[in-house]
A and B are shown apart, each in its own frame.
Chain A
Amino acid sequence: MTEISQALPSGSAMPRTKTLSEAVFAWLLIGPAMLFIAVIVAWPLAETIRLSFMDAGLGGEEYVGLANYQELVESRKFHQTIIRTFYWMFLSVALKLVLGLIGATLLNAAVPGRGLFRVLVMPPWIIPMAIGMFGWLWLYNGYFGILSGTLMTLGITDGPFEFLAYKQSAFYSAVVADVWVGTPMVTLFFLAAMQGVSRDLYEAAWVDGAGRWYRFRRITIPQIMPVIVSMSLLSAIFTFNSFEIIWILTEGGPRGATTTLIVDTYKTAISNFKFGEGSARAVIIVILLGIFALLYLNVLKFVNRKYGTK
């Protein structure tokens, strides 16, 4: 860069050279990143879109137009899967946000040993997902698991209860495991945001006689609102695409009760080798998440306007 600026005496031809050099230099800088994105993101995405118009399997592929999409539009099972996926996402994200907010508030309180508590909240996030889920598998086991054993000891059930054997209990058990994994991240982001709120605001409110709940509601929440909105979107995307949790716990069963879009896509494309049908599902996921992201950006703009952040 120094050489470029030194080679710029006043003259009519030189500025053009400067512009070209800067452009080339800029392309050189972003080139590797663009190439990386093209290979890792753009090409697979384009290939997925192409495959979604094919009847593609192990033996080859054949163009079928919109047939894969038409089949999905007409499938009652697929409609149920979409509804289930959104229910899974909203329930799980709502719980993570509420628990994250409570957790962050407690960890932000001036209590002895809070440093230790802040460390202790991390394990679900740090432990490899698969190991954590195998732990939950044991917890949910009716005959050998601690949850069923505790229920029997307390006299709540008169025999073992298999949490993953029934449609409703399997679904909510998977939600609990997902909340367990996702809450620490939300908590820590909220905690970081809370620590950035000026103490002056709390002191001024306290002087004016504001109670704890009032201060929380009127100072903490508005101040961290942009982070709440950001975490809602991130958490929603993670939860929407959450695969390992459901796959390890139930593989989408029993009778499809825990099959979300991402599990359905995996089963179709990878387990059943129906690459075309699976790709159509994947494209629908991209579209749904795209719509969701657009909504989020608009909400974020609104929040930033309302709470004065940029």
Chain B
Amino acid sequence: MNLTKLTLGAALLSGVAGTAFADGHAKELHFIMCGGEVREADQAVVDQFIADNEGVTVNLEAVPWGTCQDKSLTLAAAGDPPSIAYMGSRTLRQLANNDLIVPANIPEGAPYQPGVLNTVTIEGTTWGYPHAFSTKALYINCDLVEESGQECVAPTTWDEMFTMAQGVVDNTDAAGVGLAGKDFDNTMHQFLNYLYSNGGVVIDPATGENKLDSQQTRETLEFYGRLASVAQEGPTAWERDQLKDLFNDGKIAMYVQGPWGYGQHNEDINQLVAPVPAGPSGESGSILITDSIVVFKGSGNEELAQELAQRITSGDAQYDLDSSWGLTPIFDYSAMGKDDLYYEAGVWPNFTASISTGGPEPIVEDFKSLQSVFTNMVQGILLEDDTVDNLVTIAGEELDDAL
């Protein structure tokens, strides 16, 4: 019996000692990377970070967007948070209000583009390190437009855009425009591109007041209804990134997408990129979206996680990511001394022009409810379920509940 006790005691002691040794010499950062893949530029920073910090490992877990944010939030709520995560900035208010993340230490005077820090700042506190920035523009398949007997000139107004789309529908087998209307976040994003190009506002940035129920929203939703008549079959079954396949197959003549779309489209398509056409009450704009690196509270590795977050979003690392991945420049890189600016040529001016005229992705605590408000409204007009007036009124009321 004594021998058994001694053996058991020794085993326990060695276990405790082993754990203590492991705690003292090895730390693992759990890094959740939304998007389903780890980009080369990010991987390079992580590799260097591991090399510079002996005994530190980084468990990089790439999770597709559809489930990633829920996973990070659920882990955090269950008391087992990741150390660090790359997520949509729209989640920040929910995370911050529930005390799940720590504020970001962004150096004062960092030359972010206008509006970028607003997407991660809540009542004066910055909660995330902006790491990816996007604006949107209209991609046009000129082969299809010319096949329909029209000249491929970028439309600048909604009426011109509709006329071009109608011409494609009338004279080819393709649809005039690709619309996203699925139960997905980018249905809201797509709608906001048009709303911001019509002078619309969702939430007043100064007062936090709900401004969705407006004439600009009505005009935008009405235009969506018109676009549905020249759009691909069944927009409510499509999300934005799936429209790329239709564009590549020559089944839609135009759609709104981020700058990365240019590299994803077939090389043999003669594509024209233009700013989102302006509505009757506004000028061309775009939704300004950022994704951020956030540091979770309670992982035990907050300091290391902050260091990694700062490195991965620092000027050089960020430039590598933005330029290699085709992202709208998150910094004013010329102010940082960069001279080979990738975004000054080609189609880039269409994306950078809307930085100053675009509007933010609204940051609310219950971002899923916000998404539902827009999805219900957009699907309502696409399925001809209700009038524009009713749909916008209902959306305004639903947004009040979500705020």
Contacts and interface: CB of A to CB of B under 8 A. Distances in A.
A141 B385 CA distance: 22
Interface stretch (A18-26, A62-70, A116-124, A269-277): A269-277
Contacts of A27: none
A166 B234 contact: yes
Given A165-B233, A272-B368, A59 B383 contact: no
B200 to A, nearest CB: 22
A159 B99 contact: no
Interface residues of B, number: 32
B99 A59 contact: yes
Nearest to B366: A272
Interface stretch (A79-87, A91-99, A248-256): A248-256
Interface of B: 70, 73-74, 76-77, 94, 97-100, 181-183, 232-238, 246, 249, 251, 366, 368-369, 375-376, 379-380, 383, 385
Contacts of A166: 234, 236, 383
Contact of B380 (A161, A164, A255, A273): A255
A143 B235 CA distance: 12
Specify which of B238, B246, B369 lies most central, judged by the most chain A CB atoms within 10 Å of its CB.
Answer: B238
Given A142-B233, A164-B234, 5 more contacts: A58-B76, A143-B233, A165-B236, A253-B182, A254-B183
Leading 9 A-B pairs by shortest Cβ distance: A162-B234, A165-B234, A165-B237, A59-B98, A253-B183, A58-B98, A254-B236, A162-B237, A160-B233
A142 B97 contact: no
A143 B379 contact: no
A273 B73 contact: yes
Nearest to A272: B368
B236 A161 contact: no
Specify which of B76, B233, B246 lies most central, judged by the most chain A CB atoms within 10 Å of its CB.
Answer: B233
Contacts of B232: 143
A143 B98 contact: no
Nearest to A143: B251
A57 B76 CA distance: 12
A161 B236 CA distance: 12
Interface residues of A, number: 24
Contacts of A253: 182-183, 236, 375, 379
A167 interface: yes
B234 A271 contact: no
12 contacts: A59-B97, A59-B99, A142-B233, A159-B233, A166-B234, A251-B183, A253-B183, A253-B375, A254-B383, A270-B74, A271-B368, A272-B366
B369 A143 contact: no
Contacts of B94: 58, 273
A162 B233 contact: yes
A271 B372 CA distance: 12
A142 B251 CA distance: 12
Contacts of B246: 143
A270 B94 CA distance: 14
Contacts of B99: 59
Nearest to B246: A143
A141 B245 CA distance: 12
A143 to B, nearest CB: 6
Nearest to A161: B233
Contacts of B70: 270-271
Contacts of B366: 272
Interface in A185-219: none
